[in-house]
A and B are shown apart, each in its own frame.
Chain A
Amino acid sequence: MDIRTELLKLPELDSAAPDRVWQRFQESRRRPASRSWSLPLIGLATVAAAALFVFSPAWMADTPRSVSFSPDSFAGETKWSEVVTLELDGRGTARGTDRDLEISLESGTILAHVQPNTGTQLAVVTDEARVQVVGTVFSVTRGPLGVRTEVTRGKVQVDCADGWSGSVTPEQGAHTCLPIRPALLLTRADALLDAGAADEVLVDTLDRGIALAGPQGVVGGELLVRRMRAHGQAGRVDEALSDARLYLEGSENTRDIEVNRYAGWLAMGARGCGAAIQFLSPLQQAGSPEDRILLAECVAASDPNRAGDLLAESLGQSLDDTWRERARRDLEALGGR
């Protein structure tokens, strides 16, 4: 057994992946990073503050206080007051008094237990949603899909920045407020793809992102590429080709080859050469031998010399048996050049 031959059965590396990694990396770098020297201090301060509010004396009940929490510095269950208990697994800041508390959630999950009929006001706030409660047990999670509110007992009022507003109860099930920024909608789209979500949910997210970002720009382009693939896989060929054209008209394209190939092959299979040639032509230089064979078949009638050159060039490169045979047949049909 040839071990290398076996290892080569692993899936090929996705050639577009490094571009996506680079894009994510650049976005992460733009976010302000916490200074490493300050982490121990922040951790110490947070633990001290947490201990302070766990053991807070009665006179502090109406004194506003503020506590930052993060997975590195503070996580787990904590008693904010006699009537509010929080389970923290994320990053954010809690501010307020015993009975009037606002939590700004940057990421992760908060599970809040609020004793009913105590007049306690508690709100969890993110860019996408404000969840307001009086007397209940509920959780708010800010993750890649958006801000998810789930109620275990009682009822909460949710106002989403995406336009949705209403109450959430245990019977209704969880509600997710959609992200309102294109980059976060892109993150949601990838999370939906990972989870194998329904096509209409995915396309709705991509539509929203493209409407916000526009087809130009890096994020808009990435959203367009995903929508092109979603349309293509659902058999909506015209929509997929339209997205491909929009993407290719953009100025910050890094995935031209990938888009031309996807659209070219899709158009070739569903609409024939008339629709495919505009996508296949740019692949004459940069594409694969298979791309050139398809292009040759499309130009064979109008420009047999060019088709012959393309086929001869492809035959000189690495091809599997099926494609090699196809190229030979095409070349013979041109008159055995």
Chain B
Amino acid sequence: MTASYPEVAYARAAMSGRDEAVDTLCKVWLHTVYAWCHRLGGPGIDAEGAAHDVLLVMVRKLHTIRSAEQFPSWLFGTCRRVIANRRRKAWLKRWVPGPIRERAHPGHTPERSVEARQAADVVWNALDALPSAQREVLVLCELEERSGTEAAALLGVPLGTVKSRLRVARRTFREVVESSGGASAVDGSRAVEVN
């Protein structure tokens, strides 16, 4: 199923300045924003905190957007800036001790949890090895299964740029995962059409 961002109609209503419309816009985008913060920020940053910051910026700067059609792209850019800021702070705080909080998963045995965490670490490392522009297209097109056109609109770049970034990102991601022995099977690339 292709993930699609909510309609710009919510943005248009919120830009009219009505408080309840702003609330609705925040609620409609909350899950998407949190998912972006989680997937693009990685385990080193607090995705909930980042999503919270994005919503605050959204409410405070909504009036600066020129048209509702630009809202998704603007919001994605805001996520990108907040995540970059959080990464800088995380880098500064890297000596602070204490594990990242884990949430209990009632269906997982300890062994399964460890295996899942190790597999996730390989993927996080591979994503981390990518430049942010490539990580973004990989998350949008592969993980969220957005079309190339949709990703291009969100990123504010031409479709051709999305395609070329995606091609390089796939290659680098595959190399990193395979070199760390993380791929479950090497069976050739699965083609995802970008249109």
Contacts from A to B (Cβ < 8 Å): 1-11, 13-14, 17-18, 20-22, 24-25, 28-29, 33, 36, 190, 193-197, 229, 232-233, 261-262, 265-266, 290
B contact residues, total (Cβ < 8 Å) = 56
Tell me, rounded to whole Å, the shortest Cβ–Cβ distance linking A335 to chain B.
28
CB-based contact B34/A17 at 8 Å: yes
Complex Cα gap A36–B192 (Å): 45
Partner of B60, one of A1, A13, A33, A229: A33
Instruction: Enumerate chain A residues within 8 angstroms of B123, measured Cβ to Cβ.
Output: 6-7, 9-10
Query: Is the C-beta of B110 less than 8 angstroms from some C-beta in chain A?
Result: no
| Residues on A with beta carbons closer than 8 Å to the beta carbon of B178 | 1
Chain A residues with Cβ below 8 Å from B106 are: 261-262, 265-266
Contact B187 A18 (CB under 8 A): no
The residues of B that contact A195 with a CB separation of less than 8 Å are: 96-98
Q: Contacting B138 at CB < 8 Å: which of A3, A8, A232? A: A3
Closest partner residue, chain A, to B26 (CB atom): A25
Q: Given A9-B123, A21-B30, A196-B99, do A4 and B192 touch, yes or no (CB 8 Å)?
A: yes
Rounded to whole angstroms, the CA-CA distance of A196 and B97 in the bound complex is 9
In the complex, are the beta carbons of B30 and A5 less than 8 A apart?
no
Q: Would you call B189 and A24 a contact (CB within 8 A)?
A: no
- In the bound complex, how far is the Cα of B191 from the Cα of A97, in angstroms? 72
Do B142 and A3 touch across chains, with their CB atoms under 8 A apart? yes
Is the CB of B8 closer than 8 A to any CB of chain A?
A: no
Chain B residues contacting A9 (CB-CB under 8 Å) are 116, 119-120, 122-123
Complex CA gap A11/B143 in Å reads 12
Is the CB–CB distance between B51 and A21 below 8 Å?
Answer: yes
Asked if B59 lies at the interface with its beta carbon under 8 angstroms from chain A, I say yes
On chain B, the residues within 8 Å of A13 by CB distance are 31, 34-35, 38
User: How many angstroms from the CA of A93 to the CA of B128 in the assembled complex?
Assistant: 41
Whether A11 lies near B187 (C-beta < 8 A) is: no
Min Cβ gap A233→B in Å is 7
B142 A4 Cβ-Cβ under 8 A: yes
1/0 per position for B92-122, CB-CB distance to A under 8 A?
A: 0000111111011011000000001101101
Chain B hits for A196, CB < 8 A: 98-99, 101
Cα–Cα, bound, A22→B107 (Å): 27
- Cβ of A265 to closest chain B Cβ, rounded Å: 4
Closest to B174 in A: A1
- Name A4's contact: one of B38, B122, B143 (CB within 8 Å): B143
Q: Which of B104, B124, B186 has the most CB of A within 10 A?
A: B104
Which residue on A lies nearest to B115, using beta carbons?
A: A9
Asked if B182 is at the interface (CB within 8 A of a chain A CB), the reply is: yes
Complex CA–CA separation, A318 to B187 (angstroms): 25
CB distance from B29 to the nearest CB of A (A): 10
B184 at the interface (CB under 8 A from A): yes
Chain A residues with CB under 8 Å of B107's CB are 290
- Chain B residues contacting A33 (CB-CB under 8 Å) are 60
Q: Is the CB of B55 within 8 A of A25?
A: yes
Q: Do the beta carbons of B190 and A2 come within 8 Å of each other?
A: yes
Across-interface contacts of A5 in B (CB, < 8 A): 184, 190
Interface residues of B in 75-103 (CB under 8 A from A): 96-101, 103
CA distance A21 to B122 in the complex (A): 28
* From B120, B182, B186, B188, contact of A11 by CB (8 A): B120
**Residues of B with C-beta under 8 A to A233:** 104
Tell me whether B34 and A18 are in contact (CB under 8 A).
yes
List B contacts of A20 (CB < 8 A): 48
Asked if A193 and B60 sit within 8 Å, CB to CB, the answer is no
Q: Closest residue of chain A to B121, judged by CB?
A: A9
Complex Cα gap A256–B11 (Å):
30
Closest-by-CB residue of B relative to A233 is B104
User: Of residues B142, B170, B187, B189, which shows the largest number of chain A Cβ atoms within 10 Å of its Cβ?
Assistant: B142
Q: Which residues, 170 to 195 on B, are CB-close (under 8 Å) to A?
A: 170, 173-174, 177-178, 182-190, 192
